[in-house]
Structure 1
C-alpha cells in the first residue's frame, strides 16, 4: 500500500481514538451528574457511548475521505486544521461540563463545537460530498446534545 493512501488512515484513526479516549477520561457520570435534574427525553446513559462510537467512526471516515479528496496541499492542511479544532472543542465541552461541573459554560462552548462541524461540512463539501454527508449525523448528534445541555442548565441553574 502506498504511504499516501495509508498515512491519512493512520493519522485520522489515531486522532479520533485520542479525542475519544480523552473525552471518555474526563467524563464522570458519578454523583454530581446523577444528581442533576434532566428532561424526560434524556436518553439512558448507555446510549451515549454507543452513539459516540458510531459518531467517531463516521468522523474518522469523513476525515480520511476529505483528506484524500483534497485537491491541493493547502486544502489537506485545512482539513487537518478543522478536524483538529473540532477535536479540541469536543474535549473542551466534556471538561467544562463534567470536570468543571459548569453546564452553563459548556452550553456556550457546544455552540462553537456545532459551528465547527458546520465549517467542516461546508469546507469538505466543496471537494467531497461524501465526507460532508458523513459529518451530518455528527451535526445532528451535537445539536441534540446542545438541546439536552440547555435543558440541564434550565433545570439546575445557577452553577458555580
Structure 2
C-alpha cells in the first residue's frame, strides 16, 4: 500500500489530541490534589507519565493508520471505527473522572471497562492487520498497570 503522509499525520494527531485534552483535566490536579493522595510504593514518578502516554498515543495512531489503509477491505469499517473511538473516549473519561472529578472509585470502575475495550480494539485491529493489533500491546500493558495503580490508590485512600 502506498504511504499517505496526511492520513498518517491525522491518525497520529487524533489520539495525541485526546491526550492533550486529557492533560487539561489532569494538569491542575497533579500539582495539588494528586500530591495529597497515599500511593503505593510502585507509583512511578510524575515525570514518567507524559512521555509514556505520548509514545502510546503515537503507537495507537500508527495502528489506526494501518487499519485505515485497509478500510476498503473491512466488512464493517464503521463498527471498527466506533470501537476505536469508544476506547479513545474512555481514555479521556478516565482522566476526567480521576483527576477532574476526583472520584477514585468511579475511575477504578471506568478503567476496568476501558481496559476491556482496549483489548477488544486490539483484537479487532489484529484481525485486520497483525501489526496494528500488536502495536496495542504496550497500551494494554500500561493500562493494566494503571488499573493496578488506580486500585491501590483507591484502597490506600
Return the TM-score normalized by structure 2. 0.90
Task: Please list every run of 5 or more consecutive structure 1 residues that lacks an aligned counterpart in the other structure.
Answer: none
Distance 1:14 1:128, change over 3 A: same
Deviation larger for 83-92 or 67-76: 67-76
Is contact 2:16–2:54 with CA below 8 Å preserved after alignment? no
In the alignment, the residues of structure 1 paired with residue 109 and residue 133 of structure 2 have an alpha-carbon distance, to the nearest angstrom, of 24
Please give the per-residue CA displacement for 1:85-142, whole angstroms capped at 9, x wherever unaligned. 1111001000100011111100000011101111111111112110000001000000
Calculate the aligned-residue CA RMSD, in Å. 1.8
**Mapped pair 1:11 → 2:24:** no
Q: Alpha-carbon deviation of 1:13?
A: 2.4
Show the counterpart of 1:79: 80
Is contact 1:71–1:127 with CA below 8 Å preserved after alignment? no
In the alignment, the residues of structure 2 paired with residue 8 and residue 83 of structure 1 have an alpha-carbon distance, to the nearest angstrom, of 16
In the alignment, the residues of structure 2 paired with residue 109 and residue 65 of structure 1 have an alpha-carbon distance, to the nearest angstrom, of 28
Deviation larger for 118-127 or 78-87: 78-87
In the alignment, the residues of structure 1 paired with residue 11 and residue 77 of structure 2 have an alpha-carbon distance, to the nearest angstrom, of 12
Is contact 2:118–2:140 with CA below 8 Å preserved after alignment? yes
Is contact 2:12–2:60 with CA below 8 Å preserved after alignment? no
In the alignment, the residues of structure 2 paired with residue 16 and residue 154 of structure 1 have an alpha-carbon distance, to the nearest angstrom, of 30
Deviation larger for 16-25 or 130-139: 16-25
In the alignment, the residues of structure 2 paired with residue 75 and residue 10 of structure 1 have an alpha-carbon distance, to the nearest angstrom, of 24
Show the counterpart of 1:126: 127
In the alignment, the residues of structure 1 paired with residue 83 and residue 15 of structure 2 have an alpha-carbon distance, to the nearest angstrom, of 13
Distance 1:79 1:7, change over 3 A: farther
Distance 1:87 1:77, change over 3 A: same
In the alignment, the residues of structure 2 paired with residue 141 and residue 69 of structure 1 have an alpha-carbon distance, to the nearest angstrom, of 27
In the alignment, the residues of structure 1 paired with residue 144 and residue 25 of structure 2 have an alpha-carbon distance, to the nearest angstrom, of 21
Q: Alpha-carbon deviation of 1:5?
A: 3.2
Task: Please list every run of 5 or more consecutive structure 2 residues that lacks an aligned counterpart in the other structure.
Answer: none
Q: Alpha-carbon deviation of 1:81?
A: 1.4
Q: Alpha-carbon deviation of 1:36?
A: 0.1
